[in-house]
Amino acid sequence: MALITWTKEAYGTNVAVADEQHQELFRLLNGLHETVAGGDRAAIGKQLDGLIDYVVMHFQTEEKLMQEKAYPDFAAHKAEHDKLVGTCADLQKKFHAGEAEVNQDTTRFVKDWLDTHIPKVDKPYAPCLNG
């Protein structure tokens, strides 16, 4: 079963590009979640890198849009992004050095982060970004 399923009700932001990227993000996260269950370390590493690359690209997309519209909560929003990217970069480095493993606690952590961030932090940017 998928770890996380995108629905408009729960995760729709009313910003098309964000909704599209969130859906792809969920797809990549579900893929990693399935792969960690299989335990193939090389495959896990590949998917981890792919997910993190996509997260970074997504955050850059949102940050560019917020800056273009001079979104008042830009700094706080970016700080949340930066914190997650820092956590991910640290884990990625340790994983590839053989000093840490990626398991379903990891994918659940990312799911919980998205579960909070998208409804509480992303959704509020819609009126400004669509304005």
Residue 126: CB minimum distance to Fe ion, A: 11
Angle between helices 74-96 and 41-68 (to 10 degrees): 160
Exactly one of 8, 122, 130, 131 binds Fe ion (CB under 5 A); which one?
A: 122
Q: Give the closest residue to 106 by CA, choosing from 59, 67, 52.
A: 52
Region near Fe ion per CB under 5 A, out of 29-37, 47-55, 56-64, 88-96:
56-64
Region near Fe ion per CB under 5 A, out of 30-38, 63-71, 87-95, 115-123:
115-123
Closer to Fe ion by Cβ: residue 39 or 127 = 127
Burial readout 90-116 (b: 16 or more C-beta within 10 A, e: otherwise): ebbeebeeeeeebeeebbeebbebbee
Residues in contact with Fe ion by CB under 5 A are 62, 122
